[in-house]
A = this chain, B = another copy of it.
Amino acid sequence: MALVVQKYGGTSVANLERINNVADRIIRTCLEGNQVVVVLSAMAGETDRLIGLANDATGGKPNPREYDVLISTGEQVTVSLMAMMLMDKGFPAKSFLGSQIRIVTDKNHSTARIRKIDAGLIQQELDKKRIIIVAGFQGVDRKGNITTLGIGGSDTSAVAIAAAIGADYCETFTDVDGVYTTDPNVYDKARKLKKISYDEMLELAGAGAKVLHQRSVELAKLYNVPLYVRSAFNDDEGTLVTREDQDMEKEVVSGVTYDRNQAKVSVIRVPDKPGIAAKLFTPLSDCNIIVDMIIQNASVDGYTDLTFTIPKKDVAQVEKILDAVAKEVNADRVHIDPNISKVSLVGLGMRSHSGVASKMFAALAGEGINIQMISTSEIKISCVIEAKYTELAVRVLHDAFALEMAS
């Protein structure tokens, strides 16, 4: 018998038929002798509908506290429907909102972080042989105001609950059936991984893979919660995200991923003086713009070029901010290129195996793909290339590192 946390995303509970399928799957897990805590998202589309209402009601600037009161209704609907459906099938179940199960967060509405979960309350309900259905994505601050956790919130709720109650593992059911060596839509030779380390999953998520959000993986790593990524629509085994073990060391590269949502910004001929970089980046960070790869070339004649990437959606805002700053710091000009993508290799084996970078560059060069920027971490190499080469680059790298074959 295991204590299991199962999380089902919005597409898995998009309508009553799918909620019914999920209910049957939960029942199966129970009948196999497990204790189950379920975490649900809102029905697919519902959160967007509510956000639309909030924006229409306020000209796009809803009060953060009230915004959270509004959008948290989405999960409230799915958990009550699921609990009543399970009971209708003869299985004792009980729904809990973030406020009821005491998922206490800080008071940052829409981006709240979990501080504490009342594991005792969940344990009490489990002891009564009930299936616990918890509303994901939401919590409550110390004063009782409803908060929401932001992007990846339900995954985060599930992992946090698993950690709090000491679950044996956490399963997250989604519309893909695991973590692949690359996006199967881009390359049909993509292979599903049986196992991947937290660190690799973090780098893959950060580099554009959409299966899991970084936050939930960080939390799983911190509390060492084994995390299964599985499909809500079939019984395939999925991928286990877990801590590094000896098996894993064999894989030099685990996956290739890409991110088409970045734009490249170059500030040309910046006077190379202390404090200039701060002057450029502080106004961006003040506007919550996430700057990713940053590269500064060696200085020539007291001038340098600064290049970095930003989310494509922020291009207009960044252009406006930097045009002003560039003048202030006497830079020559700002050039923004949205026509790029970032292709990344991730693998634990990079630590010990040299030559991954050179093999990557050679493979891209072999197809005439020019590398515009490079950045590396301990277990990742990313290259910015022209956008039109994205799929080609993914396939070439997948082949170069023989990712279609399990090692």
Contact code string A44-86 (vs B, CB < 8 Å = 1, else 0) = 0000001001101111011101110110110011011101110
A95 at the interface (CB under 8 A from B): yes
A283 at the interface (CB under 8 A from B): no
Is the CB–CB distance between B88 and A57 below 8 Å? yes
The CA of A144 and the CA of B73, in the complex, are separated in Å by 17
Contact code string A77-115 (vs B, CB < 8 Å = 1, else 0) = 101110111011000001101011000000000000000
Is the CB–CB distance between A77 and B88 below 8 Å? no
The CA of A50 and the CA of B77, in the complex, are separated in Å by 8
A91 vs chain B, min Cβ distance (A): 11
Given contacts A77-B50, A99-B99, contact A85 B69 (CB under 8 A): no
A117 vs chain B, min Cβ distance (A): 16
A291 at the interface (CB under 8 A from B): no
Contact code string A130-147 (vs B, CB < 8 Å = 1, else 0) = 000000000000001000
Contacts of A53 in B (CB 8 A): 16, 77, 81
A322 at the interface (CB under 8 A from B): no
Is the CB–CB distance between B81 and A70 below 8 Å? yes
Of the residues B16, B56, B69, contact of A79 by C-beta under 8 Å:
B69
A15 vs chain B, min Cβ distance (A): 10
Residue of A20, A76, A80 with most chain B CB atoms under a 10 A cut-off: A80
The CA of A207 and the CA of B207, in the complex, are separated in Å by 69
Residue of B nearest to A73 (CB): B73
Is the CB–CB distance between A57 and B85 below 8 Å? yes
Cβ < 8 Å to B, chain A residues 247-271? none
A19 at the interface (CB under 8 A from B): yes
A292 vs chain B, min Cβ distance (A): 33
Residue of A57, A95, A97 with most chain B CB atoms under a 10 A cut-off: A57
Is the CB–CB distance between A83 and B100 below 8 Å? no
Is the CB–CB distance between B83 and A95 below 8 Å? no
A81 vs chain B, min Cβ distance (A): 5
Is the CB–CB distance between A76 and B76 below 8 Å? yes
Contacts of A58 in B (CB 8 A): 84-85, 87-88
Contacts of A19 in B (CB 8 A): 57
The CA of A76 and the CA of B88, in the complex, are separated in Å by 26
Is the CB–CB distance between B16 and A84 below 8 Å? no
Contacts of A94 in B (CB 8 A): 65
The CA of A72 and the CA of B99, in the complex, are separated in Å by 15
Known: A58-B87, A63-B83; 11 extra A-B contacts, CB below 8 A, are A16-B56, A57-B81, A58-B88, A61-B88, A63-B88, A66-B83, A66-B84, A66-B95, A67-B84, A70-B81, A100-B144
Chosen A-B contacts, 25 in total, with CB atoms closer than 8 Å, are A16-B53, A16-B56, A20-B57, A50-B77, A53-B77, A53-B81, A54-B81, A57-B81, A57-B85, A57-B88, A62-B84, A63-B83, A63-B84, A63-B87, A65-B94, A65-B95, A66-B84, A66-B95, A69-B79, A69-B80, A69-B95, A70-B80, A72-B76, A76-B76, A100-B144
> What 3 A-B pairs come out closest when comparing CB atoms?
A69-B80, A70-B80, A66-B84
